[in-house]
């Protein structure tokens, strides 16, 4: 089954395509206090909710990058409906291929929940840091282990224990790269249950309305397997947070937050 089709179906009910709440996303937007026309990029922007909210709040000049034509279409529709005439554009491309016109020229660079684009959390922080100006914002979303994963969970989920680190380790990775932590927005169990549950619901609705889809069996089996792993192990094992950093205006070291 095509991966982009899979995520389009399983995330059709989501406003935010990550295990966080709209309320926490709103708090993040309010924290940033960007000037009008601030230059922003959101890598792997999904349905564009973060950028649309930034355009609503601040009138930013931004670009959203995503590899999915489904998500780019959703993002464009939301933008045209909510902020017509904005200075935001969405582009279908691989996020790792994006480069700003000049390094260290953006007010904000984000990649929320898609560090695989750059090959991991540390590499994502380095790539985004190179895009932003001194005192510019780097915002990422990343999983972390709440407790050591069991071998059964790793086997069922297809993860390895080296895929993620700890919550404090995610922060330290930024501090080591010239970024100062300003705030974290940590997901709770309700955030996770909503994120996972909407996938189950969307899949069930799709199965009812598309009984002849040749991909339906694979879709249902994949979602059922992920559901079982989440309920049995993942809910207690895997955490997730959005991390808001600012690039240091000087290269002096500071203590990690």
pLDDT tens digits, residue range 49-91? 999 999 999 999 999 999 999 999 999 999 999 999 999 999 9
Structural domains of the chain, count: 1
Task: Write out the E strands in 198-237.
Answer: none
Distance CA(228)–CA(83), nearest Å, equals: 40
Judge whether residue 177 has pLDDT over 90. yes
Distance CA(106)–CA(47), nearest Å, equals: 21
Q: Is residue 51 part of a domain?
A: yes
pTM (predicted TM-score): 0.94
Model pLDDT, residue 127: 97
Q: Is residue 71 part of a domain?
A: yes
- When pLDDT is cut at 50, 70 and 90, the band that residue 249 belongs to is confident
Q: Is residue 128 part of a domain?
A: yes
pLDDT, mean over the chain: 95
Burial class (CB in 10 A: 0-12, 13-18, 19+), 145: middle
Rounded to an integer, the average pLDDT of 169-184 is 97
pLDDT in tens, 101-138: 999 999 999 999 999 999 999 999 999 999 999 999 99
Model pLDDT, residue 251: 52
Q: Is residue 210 part of a domain?
A: no
Judge whether residue 250 has pLDDT over 90. no
Q: Is residue 1 part of a domain?
A: no
The boundaries of the domain holding residue 51 are 19-188+239-247
Q: Is residue 89 part of a domain?
A: yes
Rounded to an integer, the average pLDDT of 212-240 is 97
Q: Is residue 225 part of a domain?
A: no
CATH number at residue 118: 3.40.50.150
Q: Which H or E element spans position 180?
A: strand 179-186
> What percent of the chain has a predicted confidence (pLDDT) above 70?
97
Q: Is residue 232 part of a domain?
A: no
Name the CA radius of gyration of the chain, rounded: 18
């Amino acid at each position: 089954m095509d991966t982009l089709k899979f995520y389009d179906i399983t995330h059709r009910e989501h406003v935010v395509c990550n295990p966080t709440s709209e309320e926490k996303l709103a708090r993040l937007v309010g924290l940033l206090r960007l000037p009008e026309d601030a230059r922003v990029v959101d890598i792997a922007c999904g349905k564009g909710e973060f950028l649309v909210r930034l355009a609503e709040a601040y009138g930013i000049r931004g670009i959203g990058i995503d590899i999915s034509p489904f998500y780019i279409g959703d993002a464009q529709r939301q933008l045209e409906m909510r902020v017509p005439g904005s200075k935001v554009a969405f582009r279908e491309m691989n996020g790792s291929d994006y480069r700003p016109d000049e390094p260290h020229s953006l007010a904000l660079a984000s990649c929320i929940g898609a560090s695989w684009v750059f090959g991991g959390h540390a590499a994502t922080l380095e790539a985004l840091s190179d895009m932003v100006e001194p005192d510019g914002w780097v915002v990422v979303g990343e999983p972390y282990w709440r407790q050591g994963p069991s071998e059964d969970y790793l086997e069922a989920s297809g993860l390895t224990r080296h895929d993620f680190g700890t919550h404090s380790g995610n922060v330290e990775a930024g501090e080591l790269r010239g970024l100062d932590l300003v705030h974290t927005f940590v997901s709770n169990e309700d955030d996770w249950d909503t994120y996972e549950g909407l996938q189950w619901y969307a899949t069930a609705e799709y199965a009812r309305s598309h009984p002849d889809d040749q991909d339906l069996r694979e879709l249902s089996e994949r979602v059922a397997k992920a559901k079982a792993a989440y309920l049995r192990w993942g809910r207690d094992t895997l955490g997730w947070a959005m991390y808001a950093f600012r690039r240091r205006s000087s290269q002096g070291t500071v203590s990690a937050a």
